[in-house]
Amino acid sequence: MTWEELENAALECRRCALCETRTKLVFGVGVRDADVMLVGEGPGENEDLQGEPFVGRGGQLLDTMLTLIDLDRRRNVYIANIVKCRPPKNRDPLNTEQDACIGWLRAQIDLVKPKIIVCLGRVAAGVLIDPAFKITREHGQFFEKDGVLYTAIFHPAALLRDPRKRPETFEDLKALQAKIREICPGTYA
Ligand code: URA
């Protein structure tokens, strides 16, 4: 399947009820053959209006965090979410919604073929790393699965709510940068 076929199919998706309330489906953004992929939870209000992941306040903070380690959605990462349509009132996506949607993300991962997947927050880590993942304890650690390295950092919205988490996240970002230098030389070329 090509990117165009995948995106066109996703844009028509009616696999769960979130299609009834979405403004725009938020497919993904960035470099489609990046070695580093970031996965968030699901669109919020601004993302739903604009059709792009992480464009609200949390998104601005994410961009700043990425800049710190020389990553940029226009240059060297791909960004997508576990669910492609906004859950009403920004509630967590239901398990049934995640299950209905995850095929789109799996297909994106197959096309990007990232070497490192960074989960943004508890929900993405629970789906992609381990259902029992504890973000407070396990953020910043690396887990290998089928030849891909996974890690998780606090969600930008959590850092906005609780700035005390920022120093730990800065350490995680520096460790991520070192790992990228080690195994994804093209990212900083
Ligand atoms: N939060 C997410 O998890 N994803 C977005 O795209 C925006 C906010």
Q: How far away, in angstroms, is 40 Cα from ligand 1 center?
A: 5
- One-letter amino acid for residue 165 of the chain: K
The answer to whether position 189 is within a domain reads: no
Mean pLDDT of 8-23: 98
Lookup result for tokens 């407070």: 136
CATH code, domain carrying 131: 3.40.470.10
Domain assignment present for 188: no
Q: How confident is the model at residue 43, as a pLDDT? A: 98
Entry pTM: 0.98
43 lines ligand 1 (CB under 6 A): yes
Q: Is 54 in the pocket of ligand 1 (CB under 6 A)?
A: yes
Q: In this structure, is residue 186 part of a structural domain?
A: no
Query: What are the tens digits of pLDDT across the range 59-116?
Result: 999 999 999 999 999 999 999 999 999 999 999 999 999 999 999 999 999 999 999 9
Outline where the chain has alpha helix (H). Answer: 3-11, 18-21, 45-50, 57-68, 95-112, 122-128, 135-138, 156-161, 166-183
Question: Which range marks the domain in which residue 30 is found?
Answer: 3-181
Give the pLDDT confidence of 37-60 residue by residue, as tens digits. Answer: 999 999 999 999 999 999 999 999
Q: Which atom of ligand 1 is nearest to 82's Cα?
A: 3
Give distance in angstroms: CA of 148 to centre of ligand 1: 23
